[in-house]
Amino acid sequence: MTLDAVAAARAWAAQDPDEVTRAQLEALLARVDAGDPDARAELETRFAGRLTFGTAGLRGELGAGPLRMNRVLVGQAAAGLARYLLAREAHPSVVIGYDGRRNSEIFARDTAELMAGAGVRAILLPRLLPTPVLAFAVRHLGTSAGVMVTASHNPAPDNGYKVYLGGLDHGSQIVPPADAEIEAAIVAVAAGSIAELPRSDGYELAGEEVVDEYVRRTAAIAGAAQPLRVVYTAMHGVGWDTARRVFAEAGFPDVVSVPEQQEPDPAFPTVDFPNPEEPGAMDLAFAAATASGAELVIANDPDADRVAVGVPDGAGGWRRLSGNEVGWLLGWRAVRQGAERDLDRGTLACSLVSSPALGVVARKEGLDFAETLTGFKWISRVGDLVYGYEEALGYLVDPEKVRDKDGISAAVAVLALFSELKATGLTFAEHEAAFADRYGAFASGQISIRVTHLDRIGELMARLRAAPPREVGGIRVERIDDFAGGFAPFPPSDILRLWLAGGSRVIVRPSGTEPKLKCYLDTRSDEGTPAERQATADAALASLEAGMRELLAG
């Protein structure tokens, strides 16, 4: 720990308006002064850099220092964003939303006061609300930018800060070069003290009209509705109040909410991680569905920008559909809806780590297809977009309304799909078989290796590059695409894509939001009956998973 780092910590504490984090830092500094080596190491982890915009904004654990989420960092971010907006236009505006995590409302009000103090018209949403409502508000209110305070599905100790741009960016999240320009403005602000920044309580409070319009437009996605027995969980987040209104207006008034997970609770007491993808996260919802004789389970993540779907497994239990299964089925529905409206053009889009299935659908139906880098900030910017998704439970079913993933809109689309099947007398299994018959059968899986030290991720990626595998799980590797030097049309990225015999594919990349190395596995089959095709794809997936686990453990 250098004297400069200690001085930086003292300067940070001096400007911190939060009694909790200020006391935390002062206690650490006192231990450093007393010669405590553990305190010195801890201080280093907080001041060795600063949080930067990743796949979905700033995210980190709550605590003092520039590598944590706190009021100083948020104040610097707000003031830096204000400088960026004022340099772009004479009279910029921003709408600000927040979820139910610890300090979310405090961070949002700090942002509103600092924006207003800097001369930016600031509009604060009326209460804690889902991220999709904020993304909608940017377009609906025509603001220059939007800020959402959320860490989405991250662990309970975390919070985050997402930035959207209006105007020519149409309400999408920031991408280069805007993110770097905003970060440069934040660094310039950080050279001084946030205590010296002007603040104002002259910000506006948005009316309920914004929420009402989001509800009205989202409910319209459903069309005619057949009664369904549905269980819903908000995963201790902010989804239920808005989703309940949307479901009722869409013709599904009797959705049953899981009471233990219905109200916002930043401790997320019933789950290890508040992410529907995590094992056990949907167990309470499945139990409620069994008890109530439900036909379908819907789960939002804590800020309701993602959705997970559970269906009966045919043996008295439940299975969660993968993000890819929901993704390609909603894509197929979007194509059919377009055909009903005589729309013969448009683009389907997904992230490059999502299943190849959507591309097959697009090509067979004569539509354009776009593959993007991971993150909805890229998917939402695809031209002539009809529908987009990413395998991590993110879906964009109504691009005219929202330019970000929207777990409530997607939930309505899922309810509508099951309602349509019920009206025509088809089972979900028959619908899946029809997809496999028309487009082929696909299977997808994921391996996530959580690390304690981020250096471990770099070591694993370097090892794969230095000694690329010739086969995985007995399946021959035919070629490897390394995105490190750029791989058209993508910019340089820390991604490896392995193409294997039989159409299988493996993609390896570091997570953009969590300390994980992620490995995406995809297989397909076009031979035989739908059941035979699925069995072949599933068997190939099992081989790939076993092979990759062995490879990464070696």
Percent of the chain with pLDDT over 90: 88
Query: Among residues 333, 314, 326, which one has the least CA distance to residue 276?
Result: 326
pLDDT at 341: 80
Q: Which helix (H) or strand (E) holds 431?
A: helix 428-439
pLDDT tens string 378-423: 999 999 999 999 999 999 999 999 999 999 999 999 999 999 999 9
Using pLDDT thresholds of 50, 70 and 90, give the confidence band for residue 223.
confident
**Mean pLDDT across the chain:** 94
> Which of 3.40.120.10, 3.40.50.720, 3.30.70.270, 3.30.70.20 is the CATH number of 211-218+227-316?
3.40.120.10
Contact assessment for residue 118 and residue 83, using Cβ atoms and an 8 Å cutoff: yes
The owner of tokens 């995210």 is 59
Query: Among residues 485, 413, 60, 412, which one has the least CA distance to residue 255?
Result: 412
Per-residue HEC secondary structure of 17-81 comes to CCHHHHHHHHHHHHHHHCCCHHHHHHHHHHHCCCCCCECCEEEEEECCCCCCECHHHHHHHHHHH
pLDDT at 1: 42
Bridge partner list, 172:
165
Provide Rg for the chain, Cα atoms. 24
Distance CA(210)–CA(188), nearest Å, equals 34
pLDDT at 320: 96
Strands (E), 167-306: 172-173, 204-205, 230-233, 256-257, 296-300
Residue 344 clears pLDDT 90, i.e. is over it: no
Distance CA(184)–CA(84), nearest Å, equals 9
Distance CA(412)–CA(396), nearest Å, equals 12
Alpha-carbon torsion 218, 222, 225, 228, what sign? negative
- Residues 6 or more apart in contact with residue 42 via CB below 8 angstroms: 28
* Active-site annotation holder among 93, 104, 144, 152: 152
pLDDT tens string 72-104: 999 999 999 999 999 999 999 999 999 999 999
Domain 440-553, CATH homologous superfamily name and number: Alpha-D-phosphohexomutase, C-terminal domain (3.30.310.50)
- Residues 6 or more apart in contact with residue 400 via CB below 8 angstroms: none
Task: State the span(s) of the chain assigned CATH 3.30.310.50.
Answer: 440-553
Percent of the chain with pLDDT over 70: 99
- Residues 6 or more apart in contact with residue 242 via CB below 8 angstroms: 129, 130, 133, 211, 214, 215, 304, 408
Distance CA(322)–CA(245), nearest Å, equals 26
pLDDT tens string 52-65: 988 778 999 999 99
The owner of tokens 């010195």 is 40
pLDDT at 442: 97
Alpha-carbon torsion 46, 49, 52, 56, what sign? negative
Distance CA(462)–CA(452), nearest Å, equals 18
CA separation, residue 82 to residues 107, 170, 187, 189, 209 (Å) = 15, 19, 13, 10, 26
Residue 227 clears pLDDT 50, i.e. is over it: yes
Query: What's the chain's length in residues?
Result: 554
Q: What is the DSSP letter of 5?
A: H
pLDDT tens string 417-469: 999 999 999 999 999 999 999 999 999 999 988 888 878 888 999 999 999 99
pLDDT at 554: 63
Strands (E), 184-295: 204-205, 230-233, 256-257
pLDDT at 120: 98
Bigger pLDDT: 342 or 125? 125
Contact assessment for residue 276 and residue 235, using Cβ atoms and an 8 Å cutoff: yes
The owner of tokens 């450093």 is 32
Residue 329 is which amino acid?
L
What CATH topology corresponds to 54-207?
Alpha-D-Glucose-1,6-Bisphosphate; Chain A, domain 3 (3.40.120)
Residue 257 sits at the vertex; the CA angle it makes with 255 and 261, to the nearest 5 degrees, is 160
Does residue 543 have an active-site annotation? no
**pTM score:** 0.94
Virtual CA dihedral for 165, 166, 167, 170, nearest 10 degrees? Answer: 100
Residue 3 clears pLDDT 80, i.e. is over it: no
Residue 55 is which amino acid?
T
> Which of 3.30.70.660, 3.30.2320.30, 3.40.120.10, 1.10.1660.10 is the CATH number of 323-405?
3.40.120.10
Residue 123 clears pLDDT 60, i.e. is over it: yes
Can you spell out the DSSP letters for 334-398?
HHHHHHHTT----EEEEETTS-THHHHHHHHTT-EEEEE-SSHHHHTT-TTEEEEEETTTEEES-
Q: Coil, strand, or helix at residue 443? A: strand
Task: State the span(s) of the chain assigned CATH 3.40.120.10.
Answer: 54-207, 211-218+227-316, 323-405
Q: Coil, strand, or helix at residue 516? A: strand
Q: Coil, strand, or helix at residue 253? A: coil
